[in-house]
Amino acid sequence: MRDTVRGWIREARHIAVLTGAGMSAESGVPTFRDAQTGLWSKFNPQDLATEAAFRAHPQRVWDWYAHRREMIDRVEPNAGHVALATYALRHPGRLTLITQNVDGLHQRAGSVDVLALHGNIAEDQWLDAPRACCQVDAIEAGHPPRCQVCGNLRRPAVVWFGEHLSAATLEVAELAARDCNLMLVVGTSGEVYPAAGLALIAHQCGARVVIVNPEPTPLDAVAEQCLPEPAAVCLPQLLL
């Protein structure tokens, strides 16, 4: 099966890659549930990852994200992340990388122009629409930091429950799904939309879809090939 997929990769004019939480888990990135240790074990993560929770308890939510950032800082990109970055470097303009992950491991591995559908946990943004006084070089430190003039809070630059994905990022991802000849779907459950819908778009537009996942997924039904392997094992063998 790998040989067949390698041939498709060689033939493809444009490859789109969609990655999910399973790929990060191979590096040891804790899931939402795994992050609920110690002090945080009494909280439901879905009750923390919302705008309403942040407005009600900004320090609590900020500190929980600081805890998650510390956990992510302790892990490294795996061989799958490196394989994608290396392939894109060798073949400029041929691969579009789309990820549901917020951990930044693709970027740390050397991938550029990553379409991070759900944002990046290492970055911050303003909670409310910034005013003229909201300048990143004049932020008052705190938990969370804030504008020292109007008090506008900084928040993690991730998509919380109940929020929409960045329309611009999603549009570019959908264009890549329509344009690609081959889509690799790596380490994603295939259950979170609209991200999972990108594989359906690619399939409907005539692209081959290949699933790389040790576990079955709902997207297997539209796949030309399913490779039941971890990304760190499979991708370096595919992207030679």
Single-letter code of the amino acid located at 68: R
Q: With contact defined as beta carbons under 8 Å apart, do 157 and 119 qualify?
A: yes
d(CA 98, CA 107): 11
- CA 73-82-194 angle, 5° bins: 80
27's tokens: 């590096």
Calpha distance 182→179 (Å, rounded): 9
Give the tokens for residue 23: 């790929």
The DSSP secondary-structure symbol of 67 reads H
Give, in order, the Cα–Cα distances in Å from 201 to each of 29, 56, 180, 207. 29, 39, 10, 9
What are the Cα distances from residue 147, in Å, to 41, 65, 121, 234?
A: 31, 19, 20, 46
The catalytic position among 118, 143, 164, 203 is 118
Which residue from 222, 230, 221 is spatially nearest to 203, judged by alpha carbons? 222
Instruction: Based on the residue annotation, tell me whether 118 is a catalytic residue of this protein.
Output: yes
- Just list the catalytic residues: 118
